Amino acid sequence: MKRELIVAIDGPSGAGKSTLSKLLASRLGYVNIDTGAMYRAVALAAHLRNIDITDDQALGRLCQTLNIEFERLADGERVLLNGEDVSQAIRTPEVSLLTSAVSARPAVRQSMLELQRQLGAQGGVVLEGRDIGTVVFPRAEVKFFLLASAAERGRRRFEELRAKGLSVELERTIAEVEARDEADSAREHAPLLQAEDAVAIDSTALSIEQVLETMLEVVCRRRSLANLPRGGCS
Ligand code: DC
């Protein structure tokens, strides 16, 4: 039987990956997998258990004890860590910074890589992250690389955090976005890279709807080439 596509969305933080990944998956009837949330859950667990984040062995052992799940509800998606809802706790600026460091550790990457491959193997998935098209699924049928200027990405993150009632400053949020970009791109293991065969979309001056339509066009063309049913494609 033909399997549905694997769609990879990579790019720096704040480029719109989470929003677009969810919308695209919902239009196509695919499962959405937020791999950043998985790394965030590991970072939160390491923090709560006082684990030295330079200790690869301890991190590797920690990953073995974690059960990370996504719960899809009518009003959104929840991230569960060993059964507990951590959707809010993994999004604080502190956990964001810690995640950058934790996600650079080889033991953590290996563990998440296996989990992500299991979750996506059947197809019919949109995975968003930093290394989906290059490392996790280098043979994904559709790959996007979503970009936007650092100032615009910082502004979006600022609005997002403010809407959640967190007290934040714009300048500081932009600086944090830049610091994370630097850490995610400069690291030795699975750095942020654009796959050669990825479709790059700069969303700085585009609306969410415009980016979504562009993505749908690309996916639907690929679906039609693979003779897949037209579900979600008009
Ligand atoms: O997308 P996000 O902001 O939730 O990602 C959080 C951190 O996790 C970010 O610093 C990059 C890292 N990450 C990664 O290294 N690989 C992924 N596939 C996804 C996220």
CA distance 63 to 61: 5
Residue ID of nearest Cα to ligand 1 atom 18: 129
Given this model, what pLDDT does residue 147 score? 93
Residues in the chain with pLDDT values less than 50: none
Specify the fold of 6-224.
Rossmann fold (3.40.50)
CA distance 69 to 54: 25
Nearest atom (ligand 1) to Cα of 10 = 18
Residue ID of nearest Cα to ligand 1 atom 11: 100
Residue ID of nearest Cα to ligand 1 atom 16: 130
DSSP for 149-170 reads -HHHHHHHHHHHHHHTT----H
Given this model, what pLDDT does residue 1 score? 63
From the number of C-beta atoms within 10 Å of its C-beta (0-12, 13-18, 19+), residue 22 rates as middle
pLDDT tens digits for 160-208? 889 988 888 999 999 988 888 888 788 777 778 899 999 999 999 999 9
Nearest atom (ligand 1) to Cα of 131 = 18
Kindly list the domain boundaries of the chain, sorted by start residue.
Answer: 6-224
What secondary structure letter does DSSP report for 229? -
Tell me which of 130, 145, 194 to substitute to probe ligand 1's pocket, judged by most ligand atoms within 8 Å of the beta carbon.
130
